[in-house]
Amino acid sequence: MAHSRRGSDTPRTWPDALSRFPPLPGTYPRWALLDEEARQRYVDWEKVVSSMVGTLRLDAGRHPDDPLLAQLVGDLSVRSEQFRRWWADHRVVERRDGIKRLDHPLVGRIDVFYEALEVTGEEAQTLFVYSTDPGSESESKLRVLADRTRSAPVESASGH
């Protein structure tokens, strides 16, 4: 899953939740901060989302003239009291690796490790690689979800 400097990485496990937001840069931060479902999906929501706000602050320092990033920060400042508190802390976070503890509605808790890899090029991007421990319960649960995804009917782009 790729992550632009404006926070448009998307948790593919919950595409329906994200469809409630316009497909703009910053869809993931908007979902994480504004949708109650995000609080249910992250076992340690405050830790994950406060870290995400710190990453946005890092990006704002690196790209002070980015109008889309400024729009995202403004929108979240207006719509989320929690964002305003975390933004006011001036905490800067550079995510390199860690663990995310998810609570999926079908399979329950899944622990995934992530590692950030910088992608060189014109547009600054970070590729997040997610994994689980081989043979773990989390790996088994991800396989169940992958099998469900493979067996689900695919609708054509025209809706037929």
The domain spans of the chain are 2-151
Q: Which has more pLDDT, 5 or 75? A: 75
What would the pLDDT profile of 40-62 be if each residue is shown by its tens digit? 999 999 999 999 999 999 999 98
Q: What is the mean pLDDT of the chain?
A: 83
Distance CA 60, CA 92 (A): 10
pLDDT of the residue at 150? 81
Distance of CA 134 to the CA centre of its chain: 23
End-to-end CA distance of the chain: 28
Q: Does domain 2-151 have CATH number 3.30.450.20?
A: no
Token representation of residue 130: 């997610």
What is the pLDDT confidence band of residue 120, given thresholds at 50, 70 and 90? confident
